[in-house]
Amino acid sequence: MNTVNKGLFASVALLIMVSCGGGGSDVAGGGIGGTGVSQGPITGFGSVFVNGIEFHTTGAEIEIEDSPQQPESELRTGMVVKIEWEKDSSGTNYTARRIVYSDDVQGPVSSLNAVTNTFTVLGRTVTVTSLTVFDGGLTGFAGITDGQVVEVSGLIDANGNIQATRIELKDPSVSEFEIKGIVSGFVSLEEPFNVAGVAVNYIGDISPITGLIDGACVEGKLSSVVPSSPLSLTEITLDDSCTAGGSEGGEVQIEGLIADFTVGTNPFTVNGQAVRVTPQTLYGNDSSSMLGNDVKIEVEGTLSSGVLVAKKISFRQEATGDIEGIVTNVGTANKTVTLDAGTVTVNNLTLFDDDLRNLGDIRMGDKLKIHYYTQGSSTKIATHIEKE
């Protein structure tokens, strides 16, 4: 078996800067021209929207689950992706040069809990939220049953669990399960170790594998048998998608959940990337007191000796309500959608389900469910739009 560096990836969060009430197209450091890396879930199309930025995709290399040269049409909302980009001399127009997607886990569902909206796949706990996108015939948590095979992409919380941004139901005949994460407890391939905190044995060909140490990011594969503990992996490949990556001094933008946080201690981590705040870090009208484990943030800055030095941190505004109804008007100029139940405003961070993909796909008479939060006294800002 050949060791494969799968490329790039991501884990999520659709963040929003509260002081602005919406997204923007600025990457930390401003700068005129340049290159960088962004990591986060896809929120919409018409180009590709990630972290509130529109990335033009003409000429981009797109890789999905080890398959290179895929068309943009194979990308889906909720996929946590990694984008290598460049921006023009204005500093506002971004072009994706490479987009890579890889799931976090694929396997059979077990331990469904309708109270906590959680289930388990190959030993990994998955949480469903209002921002989770469903595909493959699933329409919500209620449609998930024990034994179904699902593919999950999401954000990793402080306990190593997955907060799902996308769950896709797979064909029951799928012949391969997958688990991705950081290696720990590694001594040798002849002995059990952990991937993403899950105990595994490796039963494949050992001789070609190099670079497998504690802290390495890997993807393991196993055949579609009833999972046991430890899992028996038939393949294991190095994978650099557990962290954002990037080059020394380069611009990086990550959306994710804070982990390893202790008040007064630097750094903490987001999606496995070490992040350091400084007295110069900007928080808009918010403050560093809002930082804490499992808080969703967008952090933008530059890499220094492998640490992301934060120039700006934005806190995601959670949905506080939802409305359902029939579309009576679509305001493409002012980015609004009016239902018979009320009007909401759409921005670059609004998550569209796959059957919509962007504001232009909404039609008069469509029945929608829109999750929102309220800005000011009455303006409703859409966080997630679902077609019923």
pLDDT score for 284: 76
Structure token pair of residue 93: 């127009």
Q: Are residues 46 and 76 in the same domain?
A: yes
* Average pLDDT by stretches of 10, the chain with 388 residues: 37 35 37 82 93 93 91 94 91 92 94 97 95 94 95 95 97 90 93 94 83 90 77 89 85 95 89 93 86 94 94 90 94 94 92 88 94 90 92
Q: Helix or strand or coil: residue 141? A: helix
Q: Are residues 266 and 280 in the same domain?
A: yes
Rounded CA separation 128/118 (Å) = 6
Last residue of a domain, one of 315, 341, 359: 315
pLDDT score for 226: 64
Last residue of a domain, one of 297, 315, 333: 315
Q: What is the dihedral of CA 220, 8, 4, 270, to 10 degrees?
A: -40
The total number of structural domains in the chain stands at 4
Q: Helix or strand or coil: residue 289? A: helix
Rounded CA separation 54/52 (Å) = 7
Helices and strands, counts by H and E, the chain: 0, 29
Q: Are residues 164 and 217 in the same domain?
A: no
Identify the CATH number of the domain in which residue 130 sits: 2.40.50
Q: Are residues 111 and 98 in the same domain?
A: no
pLDDT score for 268: 95
DSSP annotation string for 318-342: PP-EEEEEEEEEEETTTTEEEETTE
Q: Which domain holds residue 159?
A: 105-169
User: Is 7 within the bounds of a domain?
Assistant: no
Q: Are residues 248 and 303 in the same domain?
A: yes
Identify the CATH number of the domain in which residue 81 sits: 2.40.50.140
Q: Are residues 88 and 116 in the same domain?
A: no
Q: Are residues 218 and 279 in the same domain?
A: no
Q: Are residues 189 and 161 in the same domain?
A: no
pLDDT score for 227: 65
pLDDT score for 24: 37
pLDDT score for 12: 32
pLDDT score for 204: 86
